[in-house]
Structure formats: structure tokens, C-alpha cells
Structure 1
Amino acid sequence: MTPEPIFDLAHLGHMEMLTPKPDESLKFFVDVMGMTVSGRKGESVYLRGWDDYERYSLKLTASNTSGMEHMALRARSPQALERRVAALKGSGFDIGWIDGDMGQGPTFRCRDPDGHIVELYYETEWYQAPPELKPALKNQAQRFPARGVNVRRLDHLNCLAVDIKANRIFFEDYLGLRLTEQIVLNDGTEAAMWMTMSNKSYDFAYTRDHYGKKGRFHHVTYALDSREEILRAADIFLENGVHIETGPHKHAIQQTFFLYVYEPGGNRVEVANAGARLILAPDWKPIVWTEEERKKGQAWGLKTIESFHTHGTPPV
């Protein structure tokens, strides 16, 4: 009998990005990406897209290197959080409870098999826009900023890992995520995975680290409303001297319309339009991409640039 699905987690809440160039990185996210500062604490600045419902979706922290310090996943209820904590305790992946960060209640930390830190929480602060940022429509979190790229919300992130299969099993068994698409090489090795905790086609992806290093970061993605906005973003990045790595183009896997750039600290950032793809089928069967299919490049034939497979943070 098929195990009962676990739907204890709701969505990706935020990530903490490390940067060795905090002033330049902050200017990039505010002036070029069009994000709003919603708090400051110590060496960190908290930022949000204009329709993120929580106080922030990106914690930008000054560091001597780049990469991801942690990702945070919101549970569907206090009881759901307790169930995931109970599953993790004694597993060898658990770290323990912390008080939580700005706008975030009690938080349980764990590590995936590759060493990435994952936070689980339920209590959160809903964003309350100040008068100058109040939207005309009350079902929108914040006024459209009309600045730079104007990213709407956090969409997903991508981590690098040594053992994709071990990470897939961890997220399936302990956190209840569903696999939607994956890459499997000719020898049976799992090379990449796309997983969801909702009806989105994916909340995050893991791909194999080219250098065999653990715990590294590939990119974070913010959503825009249309393909045309991705094209406009390319012009805005160009005008601001931002390095465009690849795109605009369309991924074959998940069919996301994408554009990848590097922020000043060296981290890869994507702006994307996912279209209307949703996973509504309760018995969804994961799509498996072969080694030969991936060699064809992206959806319309664009060859995947080499740095997309080799560049990650922190650098090696």
C-alpha cells in the first residue's frame, strides 16, 4: 500500500544569503532587483519582494565568503511543525530548537545529508506596509515599487549536493516533500531533483556539485509576472552593469522562462516566470529526464553554459 502523503510543510519561506560585499549586494537587491528593506539586525539586512506576505524572504548577511547559511520552510500548523520535529529527533539530521529570527517564532534546525541547514517554523510576522508603501488593493502585500526589475515574490532556490539520492530520501521521508522531476544518468545515478511541498511544480531543486563539495549553493529565484518582464529585466541588468550568465530562455525541465545573473557577492540569482504549471494530481508520477535528453540543452536548443554546471558558492 502506498504510504499516506505528508503535507506538513507549506512553502519555502526565506533563505539567508552570505556576501563578502554587503554594501554592493544590498544596492543590487534594492536598486536593481527592486526589493524593499524590512529590517536590520547586526550584520544582516532583511529584504522582500513586493508581494511576499511574510516580513521578508531574503536575509542578506555580511560574511567573509558567499553562499547560503540556511533555508527556512514554513509548516502548515503548530501541530504539523511538531510532527516534523518528532520525525527528525534522533535521526542524526536534527540540530535543535532556536528562538527564531526577526519576524519568526520558535524554529527547529536540521541538516540535510549534504550539510545544508534547513529551518522549520510556523509562527511568522505578516508584513504590514507603512503608509507610503500601502497598496491600492488590500489583497496585495505592498505597493508595486516601480524600481528596477520589481521582483514579485520568492519562488524557489537550488542547492548543490554530492549525493542527490540521499537528499531526496531525506526530504521525502522526514519532511514529506514530493519529487516532481529528476535527472537520472545512464548508470542509474540521480543527478538532480525538483521537489514540492505544495501545488507548485517545485519549491527547490538540488543538482550535483561539479567538484564533489558538500553544502554549496547554486541560486535563488524571484518570480516575475510574465515573460516580457524577464526580457525587460535583461535590459535593466545590462544598463546596471550586472553580469548576465545565461538567458533569457526556457528550461526544458519545469518549463520555467529564465534569466541568470551574478549579484556582487558572487551568488547566482535568477528571475523567472514559471507560467501556469501546477501539480494538481495527487498521484503525480515524477518526470525522469535521461542523460541524452539533457545533452540537448534547454527547451529551444540553447546549450547550457559551462559555468552553470561549475559555478557555486562558496567558491572552491
Structure 2
Amino acid sequence: MVSAFRDVAHLGFVELYTPDFDKSLWFFTELLAMREVAREGNSAYLHAWDDYEHHTIKLTAHETSGAGCLGLRASSEEALQRRVAAIEASGRGIGWHDGGPGMGKTYAFTDPDGHPMDIYYESAWHVPTEEFRPALKNQADRFPGRGVNARRLDHVNFLGADVAENGRFVEEVLGGKPTEQIRLDSGDLAGQWFTFSNKSYDLVYSGDWTGSSGRLHHISFATDTREDILKAADIFLENGIHIETGPHKHAIQQTFFLYVYEPGGNRIEFCNAGARLILAPDWKTIEWSEAERAKGQAWGMKTIDTFHTHGTPPVSGPGD
């Protein structure tokens, strides 16, 4: 039996909904130094400077915040066909469609929680204009040298009504491997971190305290160094961007982090996680207990309450 692991090469892009399109666009282009590479309907396609693909974020004007479609690039045409067959067998398939700018044939589906996803292989690589041609030919675009300089999309954290059910789908249908997880005293899973390659994680599911489906916890961008994150905190402070928590270091995955809310209300993380790679082919999932997580983050800072309650789109919680 052929292993499904690595049939998904990596996260390709994420669509982000915003009720304040102009301010969200300013946030991503001026503060994160991403470039707009296409405009189609009510969506702008934005590119992070070292992303080899056409776009990193599809920013879409919408009545509320939240995530639209998550794009996954398959590792080959054969891998794409294998994952599509598995998705269709799971009953979660929707069908083939035109993937839009920079993408070829694309298959749409949902996870058990209802988050829309696309999987594709054909992908147009980013071609910089002469103005933005990098000095080094092994770099996708010219280094912006301003703002936060978000390098690439690192991971996406979805909220889910049932973490275990979503996790089984990612593992059994998409071929992801869980690297770490949180087990509550009740026996339920509160969170799972999945990798599709040697990265420590690409896709995360956290339990939604409201019991809702299809919501977003955060999307995360990679930086080169911890110092970039410290600089980012000052940039956000000067520009009136709400800093939720950090800079600090997570216990799980050891990510150095900063969380902010972009003007549309979505939580955005900046992280420096590239030093941790999963090289062991027989990696054993690290499990954290409820008591261990109650201790807070790596250096002792308690997890802020809103980290467990804020998600997009906003909904009322139990008892509200």
C-alpha cells in the first residue's frame, strides 16, 4: 500500500474574508510588505516576497471576517489523482473547477467541519517584473526591506467542533501526520498539529468553544528571525494594530510568536519556526495533558483568555 504522506506538498494559499477590504489591503501591502499581483471581482491576490507560487493570500471583501478556501498543492499529478480519489471516497468531494489566477485544474472539497479546500498540482510560478527582480536568482521576488517583510505563509489554524474527526480526515484522506496534540482530562482532543513534509506543522485544528463549525483561529506568516518579530511589534504599535499576545515562545512546537488582529478582525500570527524540522521517519506524536497546558507558554506566560474565545467569523458562545 502506497503511503499518502507527502502526496500534499505544502499549503499553497489561503483566502481571507474581510468586512473592511481597504484597511485589510493596507495591512497586508503596507505593513506586511506583500504585493498585489492580480485583482478579480471582489478579491485581491497578494504575494509574499519569497513565495514561489503566484499568490499567497486571496483577500476577499465579505460581509464578515473568516477564512474562505484553503489551497493545498499536491506533489505530482499522480499524487493529486490519488488524493482526489480518497476525498471522493470520503464523501467530502465537490468537484473539479477552474482554480483561478495562477492555478490549473483544481478539485474542491471540504473537511468534516465544513472548511472549504482546494487541491491542485498545476501552478504558475511567480515571475517578478523588472522593477522587483531580485539580486539573487534563487529568490522569488525582491526583498521589500520595509514593514514586517512577511516571507511566506507558514501554517493555518482552523477551529473545529470535533478536533478528532477533522484530524482523522487530514491523516487518513490527505496524508498529514500529527506531530503534537493536546488531550483533555475528559479524553477529548483539544488540538492537533499536522505536517505534510519535514516542517514541524502546516495545519492545526483547535476545539471551538462555541461548538460552531467552519471558523478560523489564525493564519501565520514566517519571518527570518526572532528580531523580525520584535520589530513587527513596534510597527503594529505605531500603526494602531491590536496586539493580542506576545512576543513570546510557545511550549507546543516551540514557536516564537506574535499575534495581532488585522483590520478585518482576523487573527494573524508571525512566527519563527523554521529551526524545528521533523526528520525522524518514525516520529511519535507528542501529547500534552490538560495540566501541562495549564502551566502556560514555554517561559511561563499564561495563555491569554481571548486566545481561546476569539475566532472568525464571530459567533455567540455558550450562554451568550
* TM-score normalized with structure 1 length: 0.98
> For 1:183-217, what per-residue CA distance to the aligned partner results, in whole angstroms no more than 9, with x for missing partners?
00112101100001010000011100011100000
Which whole-Å CA distance do the structure 2 matches of 1:88 and 1:309 have between them? 30
Which whole-Å CA distance do the structure 2 matches of 1:99 and 1:275 have between them? 33
State the shift of 1:5 in Å: 5.0
Which whole-Å CA distance do the structure 1 matches of 2:146 and 2:311 have between them? 28
The DSSP-based 3-state class of the residue aligned with 2:231 is helix
1:85-104 alignment runs, 5 A limit: 85-104=84-103
Matched, 1:13 2:12: yes
Give the structure 2 partner of residue 187 of structure 1: 186
Gaps of 5+ in 2: 316-320
Give the structure 1 partner of residue 151 of structure 2: 152
State the shift of 1:6 in Å: 2.9
RMSD: 1.1
The DSSP-based 3-state class of the residue aligned with 2:311 is coil
The DSSP-based 3-state class of the residue aligned with 1:215 is coil
> For 1:259-310, what per-residue CA distance to the aligned partner results, in whole angstroms no more than 9, with x for missing partners?
0000010000111111410001111000000000100110001111100100
* Aligned residue-pair number: 315
Give the structure 1 partner of residue 208 of structure 2: 209
Give the structure 2 partner of residue 75 of structure 1: 74
Letter in 2 for 1:165: A
Gaps of 5+ in 1: none
CA contact (8 A) 2:199 2:274 kept: no
State the shift of 1:89 in Å: 1.4
Which whole-Å CA distance do the structure 2 matches of 1:49 and 1:290 have between them? 36
> For 1:100-143, what per-residue CA distance to the aligned partner results, in whole angstroms no more than 9, with x for missing partners?
11101111111111111111000011000001100000000011
Which whole-Å CA distance do the structure 1 matches of 2:55 and 2:43 have between them? 12
State the shift of 1:92 in Å: 1.7
Matched, 1:258 2:257: yes
Letter in 2 for 1:291: E
Matched, 1:40 2:39: yes
The DSSP-based 3-state class of the residue aligned with 2:52 is coil
The DSSP-based 3-state class of the residue aligned with 2:209 is coil
Which whole-Å CA distance do the structure 1 matches of 2:218 and 2:86 have between them? 29
CA contact (8 A) 2:113 2:160 kept: yes
Which whole-Å CA distance do the structure 2 matches of 1:4 and 1:249 have between them? 37
> For 1:35-73, what per-residue CA distance to the aligned partner results, in whole angstroms no more than 9, with x for missing partners?
111111110001111100101110000000110011010
Matched, 1:23 2:22: yes
Give the structure 1 partner of residue 176 of structure 2: 177
The DSSP-based 3-state class of the residue aligned with 2:174 is coil
Which whole-Å CA distance do the structure 1 matches of 2:258 and 2:123 have between them? 31
CA contact (8 A) 2:8 2:72 kept: yes
State the shift of 1:3 in Å: 8.0
CA contact (8 A) 2:4 2:174 kept: no
CA contact (8 A) 2:3 2:175 kept: no
State the shift of 1:7 in Å: 2.2
Matched, 1:249 2:228: no
* More moved, 134-143 vs 2-11: 2-11
> For 1:215-248, what per-residue CA distance to the aligned partner results, in whole angstroms no more than 9, with x for missing partners?
0001110111000111010001111111000000
Give the structure 1 partner of residue 318 of structure 2: none
* TM-score normalized with structure 2 length: 0.97
Letter in 1 for 2:192: M
Letter in 2 for 1:160: L
Which whole-Å CA distance do the structure 1 matches of 2:5 and 2:50 have between them? 28
Letter in 1 for 2:176: L
